[in-house]
Amino acid sequence: MIDIENGSAILIDKPYTWTSFQVVKKIKYKISHHYGKKIKIGHAGTLDPLATGLLIICVGKYTKRIEEYQSQEKEYSGSFTLGATTPSFDLEHPIDQSYPTEHITEENIIAAAKQFIGKQDQIPPLFSAKWVDGKRAYKLARENSQEIVLKPKEIEIKEFEISSIEFPIVNFRIVCSKGTYIRSIARDFGACLNSGAYLSSLCRTRIGEFCLKDAAKIEEIENLFQ
Protein backbone atom coordinates (compact mmCIF):
# COMPACT_ATOMS: atom_id res chain seq x y z
CA MET A 1 0.00 0.00 0.00
CA ILE A 2 1.11 3.59 -0.59
CA ASP A 3 2.21 5.35 2.59
CA ILE A 4 1.27 9.01 2.26
CA GLU A 5 2.54 10.04 5.71
CA ASN A 6 6.02 8.54 5.51
CA GLY A 7 6.36 8.45 1.74
CA SER A 8 6.62 5.59 -0.75
CA ALA A 9 8.48 4.42 -3.82
CA ILE A 10 6.10 2.98 -6.41
CA LEU A 11 7.53 0.70 -9.08
CA ILE A 12 5.72 1.17 -12.38
CA ASP A 13 6.01 -0.71 -15.66
CA LYS A 14 5.82 2.31 -17.99
CA PRO A 15 3.59 1.72 -21.00
CA TYR A 16 4.81 2.13 -24.56
CA THR A 17 4.38 5.70 -25.95
CA TRP A 18 3.71 7.19 -22.50
CA THR A 19 6.11 9.88 -21.30
CA SER A 20 7.48 9.62 -17.77
CA PHE A 21 5.68 12.89 -17.01
CA GLN A 22 2.34 11.39 -18.08
CA VAL A 23 2.82 8.54 -15.62
CA VAL A 24 3.58 10.98 -12.80
CA LYS A 25 0.59 13.15 -13.74
CA LYS A 26 -1.81 10.19 -13.80
CA ILE A 27 -0.68 8.81 -10.43
CA LYS A 28 -0.56 12.26 -8.85
CA TYR A 29 -4.14 12.92 -9.90
CA LYS A 30 -5.38 9.59 -8.55
CA ILE A 31 -3.62 9.92 -5.18
CA SER A 32 -4.40 13.62 -4.66
CA HIS A 33 -8.05 13.11 -5.60
CA HIS A 34 -8.34 10.12 -3.27
CA TYR A 35 -6.85 11.86 -0.22
CA GLY A 36 -8.25 15.30 -1.02
CA LYS A 37 -4.94 17.11 -0.81
CA LYS A 38 -1.89 17.86 -2.88
CA ILE A 39 0.82 15.22 -2.74
CA LYS A 40 4.42 15.71 -3.89
CA ILE A 41 5.27 13.16 -6.57
CA GLY A 42 8.21 12.78 -8.95
CA HIS A 43 10.05 10.11 -10.92
CA ALA A 44 13.62 8.90 -10.56
CA GLY A 45 14.99 8.68 -14.09
CA THR A 46 13.27 9.50 -17.37
CA LEU A 47 12.32 6.83 -19.88
CA ASP A 48 11.78 7.86 -23.50
CA PRO A 49 8.19 7.52 -24.76
CA LEU A 50 9.14 4.58 -27.01
CA ALA A 51 10.84 2.75 -24.13
CA THR A 52 9.01 0.57 -21.63
CA GLY A 53 9.96 -0.83 -18.28
CA LEU A 54 10.83 0.18 -14.76
CA LEU A 55 10.02 3.70 -13.60
CA ILE A 56 10.36 4.60 -9.92
CA ILE A 57 7.68 7.04 -8.76
CA CYS A 58 8.52 8.76 -5.47
CA VAL A 59 5.61 9.91 -3.31
CA GLY A 60 5.70 12.40 -0.43
CA LYS A 61 8.90 12.35 1.64
CA TYR A 62 10.44 9.87 -0.78
CA THR A 63 10.83 12.67 -3.35
CA LYS A 64 13.95 13.55 -1.33
CA ARG A 65 15.39 10.21 -2.44
CA ILE A 66 15.01 10.81 -6.18
CA GLU A 67 18.69 11.64 -6.68
CA GLU A 68 19.67 8.55 -4.66
CA TYR A 69 17.65 6.30 -6.96
CA GLN A 70 18.77 8.10 -10.13
CA SER A 71 22.43 7.56 -9.30
CA GLN A 72 22.13 3.76 -9.18
CA GLU A 73 23.15 1.51 -12.06
CA LYS A 74 20.57 0.56 -14.68
CA GLU A 75 19.90 -2.60 -16.66
CA TYR A 76 18.21 -2.61 -20.05
CA SER A 77 17.20 -5.14 -22.67
CA GLY A 78 16.32 -4.22 -26.21
CA SER A 79 17.28 -4.36 -29.86
CA PHE A 80 19.30 -2.47 -32.43
CA THR A 81 18.46 -2.59 -36.11
CA LEU A 82 21.57 -2.53 -38.30
CA GLY A 83 21.95 -0.90 -41.68
CA ALA A 84 20.18 2.41 -41.12
CA THR A 85 20.07 5.51 -38.92
CA THR A 86 17.43 7.97 -37.77
CA PRO A 87 17.89 11.56 -36.50
CA SER A 88 16.80 10.54 -32.99
CA PHE A 89 18.68 7.19 -33.05
CA ASP A 90 15.37 5.40 -32.42
CA LEU A 91 11.92 4.99 -34.01
CA GLU A 92 10.68 8.46 -33.05
CA HIS A 93 11.88 9.68 -36.47
CA PRO A 94 11.96 7.89 -39.84
CA ILE A 95 15.13 6.46 -41.36
CA ASP A 96 17.31 9.18 -42.86
CA GLN A 97 20.17 7.10 -44.22
CA SER A 98 20.91 3.47 -45.13
CA TYR A 99 24.22 1.63 -44.91
CA PRO A 100 25.67 -1.65 -46.19
CA THR A 101 25.55 -4.66 -43.87
CA GLU A 102 26.87 -7.46 -46.11
CA HIS A 103 30.27 -7.30 -44.42
CA ILE A 104 28.89 -7.78 -40.88
CA THR A 105 29.19 -11.21 -39.27
CA GLU A 106 28.00 -12.52 -35.92
CA GLU A 107 31.63 -12.52 -34.79
CA ASN A 108 31.90 -8.82 -35.72
CA ILE A 109 28.80 -8.04 -33.66
CA ILE A 110 29.98 -9.89 -30.56
CA ALA A 111 33.45 -8.36 -30.82
CA ALA A 112 31.98 -4.86 -31.22
CA ALA A 113 29.94 -5.24 -28.02
CA LYS A 114 33.08 -6.09 -26.06
CA GLN A 115 34.69 -2.82 -27.16
CA PHE A 116 32.03 -0.84 -25.28
CA ILE A 117 32.77 -2.34 -21.86
CA GLY A 118 34.26 0.14 -19.37
CA LYS A 119 34.36 3.89 -18.81
CA GLN A 120 34.11 6.17 -21.82
CA ASP A 121 32.95 9.58 -23.00
CA GLN A 122 29.53 9.49 -24.62
CA ILE A 123 27.88 12.22 -26.70
CA PRO A 124 24.15 12.42 -25.87
CA PRO A 125 21.57 12.33 -28.68
CA LEU A 126 20.45 15.68 -30.10
CA PHE A 127 16.88 14.64 -29.35
CA SER A 128 17.44 14.48 -25.59
CA ALA A 129 16.48 16.45 -22.49
CA LYS A 130 19.96 17.95 -22.12
CA TRP A 131 20.02 21.71 -21.52
CA VAL A 132 21.65 23.84 -24.22
CA ASP A 133 21.65 27.64 -23.80
CA GLY A 134 18.61 27.50 -21.57
CA LYS A 135 16.58 25.17 -23.80
CA ARG A 136 16.14 21.43 -24.01
CA ALA A 137 18.25 19.94 -26.79
CA TYR A 138 15.26 18.15 -28.33
CA LYS A 139 13.39 21.46 -28.69
CA LEU A 140 16.33 23.08 -30.48
CA ALA A 141 16.71 19.98 -32.68
CA ARG A 142 13.04 20.11 -33.66
CA GLU A 143 13.24 23.85 -34.38
CA ASN A 144 16.47 23.45 -36.39
CA SER A 145 17.16 26.92 -35.10
CA GLN A 146 20.89 26.56 -34.59
CA GLU A 147 23.78 24.16 -34.80
CA ILE A 148 23.70 22.13 -31.60
CA VAL A 149 26.87 20.91 -29.93
CA LEU A 150 26.45 18.59 -26.98
CA LYS A 151 29.39 17.94 -24.69
CA PRO A 152 30.46 14.34 -24.09
CA LYS A 153 29.89 12.90 -20.62
CA GLU A 154 31.72 10.07 -18.91
CA ILE A 155 29.63 6.92 -18.51
CA GLU A 156 30.40 3.30 -17.71
CA ILE A 157 29.07 0.21 -19.41
CA LYS A 158 29.52 -2.68 -16.99
CA GLU A 159 27.95 -5.45 -19.08
CA PHE A 160 27.03 -5.63 -22.76
CA GLU A 161 25.62 -9.00 -23.73
CA ILE A 162 24.41 -9.91 -27.21
CA SER A 163 21.49 -12.15 -26.31
CA SER A 164 20.52 -13.10 -29.86
CA ILE A 165 20.92 -12.04 -33.48
CA GLU A 166 18.06 -12.08 -36.00
CA PHE A 167 19.82 -10.10 -38.69
CA PRO A 168 19.51 -7.14 -39.13
CA ILE A 169 18.13 -7.07 -35.57
CA VAL A 170 20.57 -7.47 -32.69
CA ASN A 171 19.06 -8.18 -29.25
CA PHE A 172 21.07 -7.09 -26.23
CA ARG A 173 21.28 -6.69 -22.47
CA ILE A 174 23.23 -3.77 -21.03
CA VAL A 175 24.15 -2.81 -17.47
CA CYS A 176 25.36 0.78 -17.24
CA SER A 177 25.87 3.85 -15.08
CA LYS A 178 23.57 6.79 -14.54
CA GLY A 179 23.26 9.11 -17.54
CA THR A 180 23.94 6.48 -20.21
CA TYR A 181 21.93 6.92 -23.40
CA ILE A 182 21.19 3.56 -25.01
CA ARG A 183 20.24 5.45 -28.20
CA SER A 184 23.78 6.81 -28.34
CA ILE A 185 25.12 3.28 -27.92
CA ALA A 186 23.01 2.31 -30.95
CA ARG A 187 24.57 5.11 -32.99
CA ASP A 188 28.11 4.22 -31.90
CA PHE A 189 27.51 0.48 -32.29
CA GLY A 190 26.56 0.96 -35.93
CA ALA A 191 29.61 3.11 -36.55
CA CYS A 192 31.83 0.51 -34.87
CA LEU A 193 30.56 -2.02 -37.45
CA ASN A 194 31.26 0.41 -40.33
CA SER A 195 27.54 0.68 -40.88
CA GLY A 196 24.59 2.33 -39.15
CA ALA A 197 22.18 1.31 -36.41
CA TYR A 198 19.21 2.64 -34.49
CA LEU A 199 17.43 1.58 -31.32
CA SER A 200 14.33 -0.37 -32.32
CA SER A 201 13.14 -1.44 -28.84
CA LEU A 202 14.12 -0.76 -25.24
CA CYS A 203 12.98 -1.95 -21.82
CA ARG A 204 14.51 -0.93 -18.49
CA THR A 205 14.58 -4.05 -16.35
CA ARG A 206 16.40 -2.85 -13.23
CA ILE A 207 17.43 0.24 -11.26
CA GLY A 208 19.84 -0.70 -8.48
CA GLU A 209 18.04 -3.42 -6.51
CA PHE A 210 14.60 -2.56 -7.90
CA CYS A 211 13.43 -4.97 -10.61
CA LEU A 212 10.79 -4.76 -13.32
CA LYS A 213 9.28 -8.08 -12.20
CA ASP A 214 8.12 -6.32 -9.02
CA ALA A 215 6.56 -3.35 -10.84
CA ALA A 216 2.84 -2.64 -11.18
CA LYS A 217 0.87 -1.68 -14.26
CA ILE A 218 -0.72 1.77 -14.37
CA GLU A 219 -4.15 0.09 -14.25
CA GLU A 220 -3.28 -1.65 -10.97
CA ILE A 221 -2.43 1.67 -9.31
CA GLU A 222 -5.61 3.24 -10.67
CA ASN A 223 -7.66 0.38 -9.20
CA LEU A 224 -6.29 1.12 -5.74
CA PHE A 225 -8.01 4.47 -5.78
CA GLN A 226 -11.40 3.70 -7.34
Q: What is the CATH number of the domain that holds 195?
A: 3.30.2350.10
Question: Is 133 noted as a catalytic residue in this protein?
Answer: no
Q: How confident is the model at residue 128 (pLDDT cuts 50, 70, 90)?
A: low
Q: Is-contact 203 215, C-beta < 8 A? A: no
Rounded to an integer, the average pLDDT of 125-152 is: 59
pTM confidence score: 0.90
Q: Is the pLDDT of residue 88 over 80?
A: yes
Selected residue with higher pLDDT from 131 and 30: 30
Q: How confident is the model at residue 126 (pLDDT cuts 50, 70, 90)?
A: confident
Q: Does residue 127 share a domain with residue 36? A: no
Helix, strand, coil shares of the chain, percent, nearest 5, are: 30, 35, 40
Catalytic residue among 13, 48, 90, 188: 48
Q: Is the N-terminal amide bond of 152 cis, ω within 30° of 0?
A: no
Q: Is-contact 57 23, C-beta < 8 A? A: yes
Structural domains in the chain (count): 2
Whole-number pLDDT of residue 135: 56
Q: Does residue 214 share a domain with residue 200? A: no
Q: What percent of the chain has pLDDT over 90?
A: 74
Domain housing 57: 8-71+209-224
For 185, other C-beta atoms within 10 Å of its C-beta total: 26
For 158, other C-beta atoms within 10 Å of its C-beta total: 15
Whole-number pLDDT of residue 8: 93
Q: Does residue 173 share a domain with residue 96? A: yes
